[in-house]
Structure 1
Amino acid sequence: MDWVGIGVIIIGLAMLGLVFLLIKPLKNLTEVLAGVQKTTNNLPNQVADIMTNLKTALSSANDTIKQLNEQLGKLVPIFQIIGNIGKSLQHLFSIMTKINDDMQCKTDNSLMERYHLEGIYGVMALGYGLYQRKNANK
């Protein structure tokens, strides 16, 4: 029993020395945790402010997008008109090309190719084709 008591006393003294060694680091840890607590105490208010600002920014972005959609809605008829004009021109040019090809097949004239008169020939063929259609509609 005497040896057991001496062993317990030695272990107790070692633990007491360990406690004295750890006092300074534990004090520093306490200060760090107190600083973290001060920082995190303000965190809910900061998050609430950020969320309020975010809601405001998203609301204004949403309003801007609505205005943009309204303005683009007003431009849709213009784009439709431009598309219709493009389709009409494509149809006109296809008719003009067809008439030009038909007229070229009917008349082979090397004089026109030599003086590069194909464009004038095409316009004249178009005018003739339109003239014939106008007379056919009467």
Structure 2
Amino acid sequence: MDWLGIGVSIIGVALLILVLLLIRPLNKLAAVLSNLQKSTKNLPNQVEDLTSQARDTLSASNDTLQTVNKQVKELSPIFYMLGNATRAANHASSSMADVVMKVREDKSEGNVFTSRNQLEGLYGMMTLVYFMIQTSKNRKTIDMS
């Protein structure tokens, strides 16, 4: 029994020395954990503030996109009208160019008379006015239907 008591006493002294050696690091660890608790205590509020700000920003950007979409929908008929006008102008100019090219290709007596008296510009202008009148009549007929 003597040896058992001595063994237990040695183990007790060893554990006492171990505790004395570990007091400082354990106190420092406790301080670090305390500071960590203080800093993370405000974390839920900060996260809530960030998410509310993000939600507000997304809501504002969504409203802005809806406004832009609405304005684009209001402007799209204007774009269609511009497209139709350019197609009509392209058609009129190509028709006029076809007629002018046809007149130039004809080698008839009228073409010789035109080129001899230098009347190409006058005939070109008359052709342009004629086609403009025709297209305006066509548009009025299409608009009335």
Q: TM-score, normalised by structure 2?
A: 0.66
- CA-to-aligned-CA distance 1:49-98 (integer Å, 9 cap, x gap): 22222222222222222222222221111111111011111211221222
- CA-to-aligned-CA distance 1:111-133 (integer Å, 9 cap, x gap): x8xxxx9x948x718717937x9
Aligned-partner Cα distance in 2 for 1:75–1:17 = 85
Aligned to 2:16: 16
Aligned-partner Cα distance in 2 for 1:2–1:58 = 79
What amino acid is the match of 2:92?
L
Question: After TM superposition, where is structure 1 displaced by more than 4 Å over at least 4 residues in a row?
Answer: 1-12
What amino acid is the match of 1:85?
A
Residue 10 of structure 1 and its aligned partner are, at CA, apart by 4.5
Alignment root-mean-square deviation, CA: 3.6
Aligned-partner Cα distance in 2 for 1:60–1:127 = 57
Aligned-partner Cα distance in 2 for 1:74–1:92 = 29
Aligned to 1:34: 34
Distance 1:81 1:6, change over 3 A: same
Aligned-partner Cα distance in 1 for 2:8–2:82 = 100
Uncovered stretches (5+) of structure 2, i.e. residues with no partner? 135-145
Aligned-partner Cα distance in 1 for 2:24–2:80 = 80
Which aligned pairs between 1:22-101 and structure 2 lie closer than 5 A? Answer: 22-101=22-101
What amino acid is the match of 2:44?
P
Residue 6 of structure 1 and its aligned partner are, at CA, apart by 5.5
Uncovered stretches (5+) of structure 1, i.e. residues with no partner? none
Matched residue SS, 1:24: helix
Aligned-partner Cα distance in 1 for 2:13–2:41 = 41
Q: Percent identity?
A: 38
Aligned-partner Cα distance in 2 for 1:126–1:75 = 37
